[in-house]
Structure 1
């Protein structure tokens, strides 16, 4: 699934949840993903992709999870298991270090930061689809965390909305190898148009820009 072609004027790079809690030593969730993150080279691959897409003037879109605030979810009728965990563990707390951007992936001038998503999909109840359509985007590259939750949900939603979807198997991570396997070998092929490595994507983008 690596033979996709990329029209550079219609692609956006979607970076999901680049928070310290996920990506930095000392983050609340980082210890849970660290083994897989190190195995796949997550941080270096995200840095490589960041340099690549910026050099090609591909729009960078930050797709952030809702940052926990006191009282969130407490009076909801049926918060999800993940939302209950966030409520108790205070993941991505607003105003705290864990809810700040990893310094290597903080938004730069001209980047798009969309509304924060409450669940797993970066599209549900946010302005992501609207912002992409205003730039004429038809193809999305989706990276970040977690492979089997926010990445998969955002990518599925993107496909349902008519976007061409690329997943990057070593620019994401999960808690368990089985989750990575499900995301890229079982579930991803049912909705993604391309599932590639960082090196494969960089080569394809370079060819598109040649």
Structure 2
């Protein structure tokens, strides 16, 4: 079991938008079955309470909020970008692009620049902000397990951070995506892959 120097550990909460986490959100119906199965919302609540109680730094790592014209003139928009263009996920100024009320930033939290792709590090200030706080260990939760969580975790490892994934504080659209994220791909870069209960016990 990994141990965590609390003054050098950060909790990275990725994409806590209504579109992902709230009933009526544009993406929520696609993850609802797995989110319910793993207890996603309850586990995010437990993580939030426990990590804040231990003084762990909280970083909100948000996806780009869609605006009219986004990606339309890009040379190589990804399949995900094309879906966002069609569905207007996380639209700026709309309810879906607002924070889920239980996971909105609190005083003292760090909200980093929005990521355009999957990684919370690429083209953002996340690495800079973590280093300015002397962070060496990151605990990553949020959405989606096989896209933004995996890309952020891989990038964190490349940058030299100790990376922990919380397998039941995330979700995906299909079971095989969750399996790949935690059983196949995760072990190639993450230093620890734990449940919410295991993580809290290790604190």
| Aligned residue in 2 for 1:113 | 111
Q: Cα deviation per residue 1:106-150 (whole Å; 9 max; x = unaligned)?
A: 000000000000000000000000000000000000000000000
Residue 56 (structure 1) shift: 0.8
Q: Indicate the SS of the match to 1:79.
A: coil
Paired with 1:93 and 1:85, the residues of 2 have a C-alpha distance of 13
Q: How does 1:44-59 map to 2 (within 5 A)?
A: 44-59=42-57
| Aligned residue in 1 for 2:87 | 89
Residue 158 (structure 1) shift: 0.1
Moved beyond 3 Å, runs of 4+: none
Residue 94 (structure 1) shift: 0.1
Paired with 1:73 and 1:126, the residues of 2 have a C-alpha distance of 17
| Aligned residue in 2 for 1:132 | 130
| Aligned residue in 2 for 1:172 | 170
Paired with 1:62 and 1:150, the residues of 2 have a C-alpha distance of 13
Residue 17 (structure 1) shift: 0.1
Q: Cα deviation per residue 1:12-31 (whole Å; 9 max; x = unaligned)?
A: 00000000000000000000
Q: Indicate the SS of the match to 2:182.
A: helix
Q: Cα deviation per residue 1:26-55 (whole Å; 9 max; x = unaligned)?
A: 000000000000000000000000000110
Q: Indicate the SS of the match to 1:167.
A: strand
Paired with 1:49 and 1:128, the residues of 2 have a C-alpha distance of 20
TM-score for both structures, normalised by structure 1: 0.96
| Aligned residue in 1 for 2:2 | 4
Paired with 2:5 and 2:106, the residues of 1 have a C-alpha distance of 23
Q: Indicate the SS of the match to 1:129.
A: helix
TM-score for both structures, normalised by structure 2: 1.00
Paired with 2:57 and 2:193, the residues of 1 have a C-alpha distance of 20
| Aligned residue in 2 for 1:154 | 152
Which one of 177, 181, 200 corresponds to residue 198 of structure 2?
200
The answer on 1:63 being equivalent to 2:61 is yes
Q: Cα deviation per residue 1:144-165 (whole Å; 9 max; x = unaligned)?
A: 0000000000000000000000
| Aligned residue in 1 for 2:78 | 80
Which sections of structure 1, spanning at least 5 residues, go unmatched?
206-210
Superposed CA RMSD in Å reads: 0.3
Q: How many residues align?
A: 203
Paired with 1:98 and 1:199, the residues of 2 have a C-alpha distance of 29
